[in-house]
Amino acid sequence: MNGAGNCGRMSNGKVVAAMNDIQLYRVKQWVERARAGDEAAFSALVREFHSNVWRFILKSVHNPQDAEELTQETFISAWRSLQTFRGESKFSTWLLGIALNIARNHCNRAASRKEVELPEDNVLESLLPQAEDPSELARSKQMLLELDRAIFRLPEELREVVILVRLEDLALEEAANVLKIPLGTVKSRLSRARERLAEDMFTHMS
């Protein structure tokens, strides 16, 4: 009886896949309408991806206000260059490529990056497990702070790979697309970054 009753039910995996398909279709429709000049459709894209782009940029610039300004700049640039988007990658991947270049330019313009300005506490705490006792939560937060500093100290080419693959959870192929480098280069940079981070964390937490 139970088996028969479950026949018409979708598993959680299938539900998630269906929701992802719906989102992809919705984004595709918005992109097509925006490419035809529909500003309302582009506004829908901004609402859909604003928080993702802001968090991505924040990981590079470490200043919430700067991240917001650069996020706005990202969407302005995306609107102006929307005709160049051919659908060869996901729109979100294409958008992160624009955000990456804008964040790079911002960092290169900065007079000094010696002082590491960390994100606000609520940004960091959103990444922490919720069901920990106070002492474990404090230790986890300290470790996250040190990891954040260690990522910031990486050379730019290594830091970008870590942010895209480890923090943004992009597939290696997607990261290669965003960075416009070969897949093998992404893999080698990720390996080097992991070694550097392990050394850095050991030094600063010993």
Asked whether the beta carbons of 111 and 102 are under 8 A apart, the reply is no
Q: What are the tokens at 60?
A: 């590079």
Q: pLDDT tens across 96-144, in order? A: 999 999 999 998 886 444 444 444 444 444 444 455 566 666 777 777 7
Torsion from C-alpha of 132, 136, 139, 140, nearest 10 degrees: -30
CA-to-CA separations, 152 to 28, 109, 112, 197, 201, in angstroms, rounded = 34, 16, 13, 10, 12
Answer whether 44's CB lies under 8 Å from 53's CB. no
Please give the Cα distance from 12 to 50 (Å, whole number). 27
Pairwise pLDDT comparison (73 vs 16), residue with the higher score: 73
The structural domains of the chain, ordered by start, are 118-206 (1.10.10.10)
Q: What are phi and psi of 84, to 5 degrees?
A: -85, -10
How does residue 12 score in pLDDT terms, banded at 50, 70 and 90?
low
At 185-203, the pLDDT tens digits run: 999 999 999 999 999 888 8
Residue 39: what pLDDT? 95
The whole model's pTM is what?
0.75
| % the chain with pLDDT above 90 | 54
Residue pointed to by tokens 């992109």: 31
Taking only the tens place, the pLDDT of each residue in 147-167 is 888 888 899 999 999 999 988
